[in-house]
Amino acid sequence: MRRHLTMIAILLAASPLAAQTLDNESFDRFGIYEATAPRPQAIEPRATTLPLELRKGDRIALIGNTLFERSQLFGQFEALLHRQFPDHELVVRHLAWSADQIDLQPRPDNFADTFQHLKHERVDVIFACFGFNESFAGPAGLVNFRQKLSTYVEQLRSQAFNGRSAPRVILVSPIANENVAGVAAADRNNARIKLYSEVMREVASTHHIGFADVYTATEQAMLSPGTDLTINGIHLTQQGDRLFSETLFQQIFQQQPPEINDSLRQAITDKNREYFRRFRPLNTFYYTGGRNKAYGYLDFLPAMRNFDMMVENRDRRIWNLAQGKTVAATVDDSNIPPLPLADQSRGANEWLPAEKERQAFQVDPRFEVNLFAGEEQFPDIANPIQMRWDARGRLWVSCSTTYPHVYPGKQPNDKLVILEDTDLDGRADKSTVFAEDLHIPLSFEFGDGGVYVSEQPSLTFLKDTDGDDRADVHEIVLTGFGTEDSHHSLHDLTWTPDGDLIFRESIFHHSQVETPYGPIRQQNSGWFRYQPRTHRLISFGTYPSTNPWGVTFDDWGQHMASHPVYAAAFHSLDPPYPQQNPAPKGLQAYSGVCGHQFVDWSSFPGELQGHFIKVRYKPTNRVEIHQWKEKEFGYEEQYVGDLIFSTNLSFIPVDLQFGPRGALYVCDWYNPVKGHAQYSLRDERRDRHSGRIWRITAKDKPLREAPQIADATIPELLKLLTRPEYRIRDWAKRELRERGLAQVKPTLDAWVQSLDANEPRFRHHQLEAIWTYRWIGLAELDGHVGAVAHIHAGHGSSPAANIDRSVALQTLRSLLDCDDPHARAAATQQLRYWHPYLDDLPVLLKQSANDDSATVRMEAAIAATYIATRDAFEAMVDVLKHPREGHLAYAITCALGSHTMRPYWEGNPNYDITRLLKLAARAQTIKEPPPTASESQFDRQADLARIDIACVPERMMFTQKQFVVRPNQPVKVVFTNPDATDHNFVIVRSGALAEVGMAANEMARDPRNANSDFIPPEKREAILHATRMIGPTRATQIQVLRFTAPTEPGIYPYVCTFPGHWVVMNGIMIVAEDQSAADELLAASQPRIVREWTMRDFKDLPSTDTRPDDAQLARGMTAFVKARCNQCHVIAGHGVNLGPDLAQSVKQLQGKALLQQMLEPSSKIHDKFQNYQFLTSEGRVVTGVVVKEDEQAYHIATNL
């Protein structure tokens, strides 16, 4: 075998296929970056008068907030323009962005600003809608608004965006708001909106531009009780958008609008959809931001060119329809060129059929694993991401073959799939596609008779209205969430124990979302809490994080996640935007893990009860068991062992859920390619077909009978609240929410009053009652206003007296005064929402702030940020009188810094809290360990080169990409890791980067290496110097290397060998006599352009008996990967098993015959590996290798 691998290595090492370059100049112009995009030239402004005159070929831009952003979904205003001016061939571009204000327009890093985009689009006419989000500053903000709007308008009208003349500019006022179920938006907002609209009118007049007063024109219509023109009081339905479009048309052109042609309107929405993908693509951190140097070029710019061409094709279709010409049924995109091949920077993992994958599992002997569902039987579950169980005991799975990116010509067709095990044999036997036009549904959750789904940049709602298990409603509920990285945009949707929908986004993201209560903004990771009943969104827990997944709650409602682990301590409302809370120091926080579930089912071993299970997808791939340990100042996790460890790294567990009978289900996003930073977004080896759901059961432990949820009576559902299983209680409360306040409350009142005080879990049953009261809406204020109404704008209605809350309040008081600190902490948390009904709130909050339990005191400090009164602040100050460490200390710091608490102490000489916050927020100093005597002597050398290198937090990169030292010079490298992930620093011999990195990756296959330093022992000769793994889970965050530089000048890579990191987290140590020599070495190391080699170039092929050394073998393996051979072939355990095993091939082919197969791989193809194309009855083309065939079917392995 060694001889056969040697032969392949010789030939691959000589292959030129890895050395290829591309003419980058051809695509550069399609990138629009803040740093480089042209800006318009200043020009003499001109007046804009109404009625507006449009000219042939005018290019029109709509800028501003969600009013225009949402209008592109319907295309009605644009349709009116084309109907009125069919021969003008107008070009309309939507550049509006949710919650934009004239002076606050957050964008992804290096994303071109609005003026740059107006310049790029060569705009002649600008419609600008502002004023709504600004109006939440109230009357006190009018002077500031007038000043800023005047400045903005003057700048806007004084730029030659089209390169020739000043634009015609029309200001558009906000629409009037509407009172709808859940929020009286008109009552809350219209008086302020009217004031701001008047300022807009005056500014427009002063600066001689057009003004469209759609507020006055829509106010009366919004008051009509017979219409529902908005989804939430502020954002228009299609019917409401038609009213707005016709009103705006009348205001602008001072005539009645024409009829809207629906074919024209649909063509416009199609164009808008493709333009949106160009203007606001997913993964902008890779397009414009910090990772664009690695993948921003070929991953994005050719696609931007194609999107531009597709939009132009649709413009022509719109013009033809407007002019009454006949058009084809579909858009002709035949002129769109193919995208160039994407970079393949590293090898893929091995793909295995499901049964062989199961055999690669190392399973805890107390358990057994079977395949519940896989792609062979259910192809619709390809690329599964998240799972949820419905009230009928069916498993729903969100799946995305679109992930990680949307590319031109490939419409997203992601799915929500329902799986059923009708015969209870532990295997699915029926699947139903509920929805199949979704857009990377990272997460979903049931509620309000439908499903809430994450579809970046939006939260959407799907509903089946006719009972056929197919979505009939698909509505955007909230929009404006960040899209900088599609892996961790809006995700982790889950209901809290008390009935709010929470979700999170992670690093890189910038979100700004319009709500009836004001705009909500957050950046660079944090949590959101949404109450659909009142349309209220709040943000909390923002701090510089990574890309974590996984969320659940313990028995007492304490929120646990991954980064941070004890998330309950992070619930304070956010500081004023764009500030973030300080990064926590010394508190557990991890990435690389997903779904979390506490063990509270009798179907699992008794010794695991109270433990929790989570899945890990990097650096190792496993299902882990942890203890949940209560400490004095918070909770921590402690690793116990693995339930499953896989040696096959294509096993990527991404979610975990207990089923209704107590089996545990693992969602396996099975894929040989994993990661954004590690692989191109367009890497063609990404598997679009595989997906598995694994079922875990304990041996000799019977499963439970599934509870009846969907058809249960209210008393039966309330009885389920006494069950020990958190998930059953959660499903029961979700169903009670569906039954509604009027039906549930009388029975719930009677149930809680009948509870036995001597029952061991009496306090917990009381707590479940309080949580259920919130689920059904009893804690919300009357008059359509949510419980924390006054914390944003101060405009709320008073609690009404027509609903009897006495039983609920009596129960809450009982919990606040009980002996159980867990119950007291949970009850204190509820003060956030019930405070409007508690006359003695200051006394109750102070009582909790001075509680013996640190967890109770923590909940009091956090609750103060929601209550937002001076009394609440004074109670929070009381928490400072008691010991505070760890999570409690961090929670206090965040509470003091919240936007609701700051007004009570900032600038107040009675409080010295500024100093406290500065001390808490100050970055922890990582001190260099004291040197030994010999180390001190080394450090005193006169020519010592000291190199300080750190890990850039959250970026998977070193602070230095290279450094230069002289031959034989003494070197001291001080390596620090302030990141949330462990890293090391390894210097290797020239050319050994991939060799060492791949060997470190292989270490992840062995569970014994899980906590190792990932220094591959078999590569010691290739490693010059290495630190241990340092970071948050290790003993230290700093290590010092002392060594003498190599004698031989050259380029020596350094790298982090944490599995998967080596591809991007690396740099070079240049050993040279001076900078000039270093520059020459660097230039000589750049790839050279080579020609395509043929057999003629190898007429003097050397002897096949030559045996290379390990370095030659490594170069051959690297070429094997770069030439994409591993896309179809396996060698030495690397690659995808779709073609012949190359180790076997060399037994049959020798010398030039083998070489010919490498240079001309299609010259001879074994019958077993011929590719066949099949056209299915649905019109789908499937290409692959026939694995077997029978009378009913062909079984094929599809090409990746």
Q: Of 1061, 1084, 1107, which one is at a domain's C-terminal end?
A: 1084
Say whether both 193 and 269 belong to one domain.
yes
Say whether both 212 and 85 belong to one domain.
yes
Q: Of 921, 951, 985, which one is at a domain's C-terminal end?
A: 921
Average pLDDT taken over every residue of the chain:
89
Query: Using one digit for the tens of pLDDT, what is the confidence trace for 216-241?
Result: 999 999 998 877 899 999 999 999 99
Say whether both 276 and 404 belong to one domain.
no
DSSP bridge partners of 128: 63, 171
Say whether both 81 and 214 belong to one domain.
yes
- Total Cβ atoms within 10 A of residue 678: 18
> Would the pLDDT of 23 be above 90?
no
> Would the pLDDT of 20 be above 50?
no
Torsion 539-543-547-550 (CA) sign: negative
Do 811 and 820 touch, CB atoms closer than 8 A? no
pLDDT at 3: 32
Considering only residues 611 and 225, tell me which one the structure prediction assigns the higher pLDDT.
Answer: 611
Closest CA to 1168 of 1194, 1146, 1188, 1198: 1188
Q: Is residue 634 part of a domain?
A: yes
Say whether both 495 and 373 belong to one domain.
yes
Query: Using one digit for the tens of pLDDT, what is the confidence trace for 286-313?
Result: 899 988 877 667 889 999 999 999 999 9
Percentage of the chain exceeding pLDDT 90: 74
Say whether both 370 and 292 belong to one domain.
no
Say whether both 1061 and 1134 belong to one domain.
no
| CATH code of the domain covering residue 889 | 1.25.10
Nearest 10 degrees: CA dihedral of 910, 912, 913, 914? 120
Say whether both 813 and 854 belong to one domain.
yes
Q: Is residue 561 part of a domain?
A: no
Closest CA to 368 of 166, 664, 796, 566: 664
Q: Is residue 810 part of a domain?
A: yes
Element (H, E) at 844: helix 841-849
Say whether both 668 and 776 belong to one domain.
no
Query: Using one digit for the tens of pLDDT, what is the confidence trace for 413-458?
Result: 999 999 999 999 999 999 999 999 999 999 999 999 999 999 999 9
Q: What are the residues whose beta carbons fall under 8 Å from the beta carbon of 1011, sequence distance 6 or more?
A: none
Q: Is residue 716 part of a domain?
A: no
Say whether both 761 and 662 belong to one domain.
no
Closest CA to 84 of 327, 266, 264: 264
| CATH code of the domain covering residue 479 | 2.120.10
Angle between helices 2-14 and 1110-1122 (to 10 degrees): 60
Q: Residue 1154 belongs to what domain range? A: 2-21+1091-1169
Q: Of 1084, 1118, 1145, which one is at a domain's C-terminal end?
A: 1084
Q: Is residue 423 part of a domain?
A: yes
Q: Is residue 419 part of a domain?
A: yes
Query: Using one digit for the tens of pLDDT, what is the confidence trace for 376-395?
Result: 999 999 999 999 999 999 99
| CATH code of the domain covering residue 1052 | 2.60.40.420
Query: Using one digit for the tens of pLDDT, what is the confidence trace for 540-572?
Result: 999 988 888 999 999 999 999 999 999 999 999
Instruction: Give the chain's domain count.
Output: 6
State the Cα–Cα distance between residues 929 and 1036, nearest whole angstrom: 10
Q: Is residue 328 part of a domain?
A: no
Q: Is residue 502 part of a domain?
A: yes
- Composition of the chain by helix, strand, coil, percent to 5: 35, 20, 45
Say whether both 653 and 612 belong to one domain.
yes
Q: How confident is the model at residue 1005 (pLDDT cuts 50, 70, 90)?
A: confident
Query: Using one digit for the tens of pLDDT, what is the confidence trace for 807-858?
Result: 999 999 999 999 999 999 999 999 999 999 999 999 999 999 999 999 999 9
pTM, to two decimals: 0.81
State the Cα–Cα distance between residues 562 and 743, nearest whole angstrom: 38
Say whether both 500 and 484 belong to one domain.
yes
pLDDT at 734: 98
Considering only residues 347 and 751, tell me which one the structure prediction assigns the higher pLDDT.
Answer: 751
